[in-house]
Amino acid sequence: MRLSLKWFVAYAATALYVAIVGGIFFFNNYVFIFGEKLQQEIAEEVRARVPVMVTALAANRPQVTFSETEMMNNWVRSDDRIQSIIYLNRNASIRWHKTGDYIGKSYDDARAEDVFATNAVAQTYMKQMPKVVMYGSGMYYDMAFPLRGAQDEVVGIVNLQISRQSAKELIARAMVGYAVSCIVVFIIMGIILYIFIYVKVVSPLNGLSNAVDSISLKDLKLNYKERNDEIGGVAESVSGFLSRVKKEFKGMEAQSKKKEETEQLWWKALLAVAISKGSRAVVVDSDNNIMFANFEINVKKDGPLHLLDIFDGQQSEVITIIGKAMDTPGKVFKGETSVGDTKYVIKAVQLPAQDGELRTMIVLEPEK
3-state SS, residue 115: coil
Q: How far is CA 325 from CA 119, 295, 332, 337, 351, in A?
A: 114, 22, 7, 16, 9
Cβ-based burial of 105 (10 A; exposed 0-12, middle 13-18, buried ≥19): middle
Number of other CB atoms surrounding residue 191 within 10 Å? 10
Q: What 3-state DSSP class applies to 307?
A: helix
CATH number at residue 84: 3.30.450.20
Give buried/exposed letters for 77-87 (b at 16+ CB in 10 A, else e): eeeebbbbbbb
145 and 12 within one domain: yes
Residues 107 and 32 in one domain: yes
Residue ranges making up the domain that contains 310: 275-366
Q: How many residues in the chain?
A: 368
CA angle 10, 13, 18 (to 5 degrees): 120
Last residue of a domain, one of 110, 143, 172: 172
Alpha helices in 79-217 (DSSP H): 107-112, 120-127, 165-197, 203-213
Mean pLDDT by 10 residues, the chain (368 residues): 75 89 88 89 93 87 86 92 92 90 91 91 92 92 92 90 90 90 90 85 85 82 83 86 85 82 77 75 80 76 74 69 81 78 80 75 79
Give the residues across from 132 on adjacent strands: 143
Position 312 scores a pLDDT of 63
What's the alpha-carbon Rg for the chain, to the nearest Å? 53
Q: How many CA atoms lie within 13 A of 69 on its CB side?
A: 8
* 23 and 168 both lie in a single domain: yes
- Give CA–CA dist 168/172, Å, rounded: 6
Judge if 281 and 132 occupy the same domain.
no
Does residue 282 share a domain with residue 257? no
What is the value of pTM for the model shown?
0.54
- Comparing C-alpha atoms, which of 180, 139, 145 is closest to residue 159? 145
> Is the backbone of residue 220 left (phi > 0), alpha (psi -120 to 50) or beta?
left
Q: Residue 315: its pLDDT value, please?
A: 66
The domain total for the chain is: 3
Same-domain status, 160 and 224: no
Which DSSP symbol is given to 303? S
Confidence (pLDDT) at 47: 93
Q: CB count, 10 Å around CB of 264?
A: 14
User: Is 149 in the same domain as 102?
Assistant: yes
> Which of 154, 172, 190 delimits the end of a domain?
172
The predicted pLDDT at position 71 comes to 93
Predicted confidence at residue 368, as pLDDT, reads 67
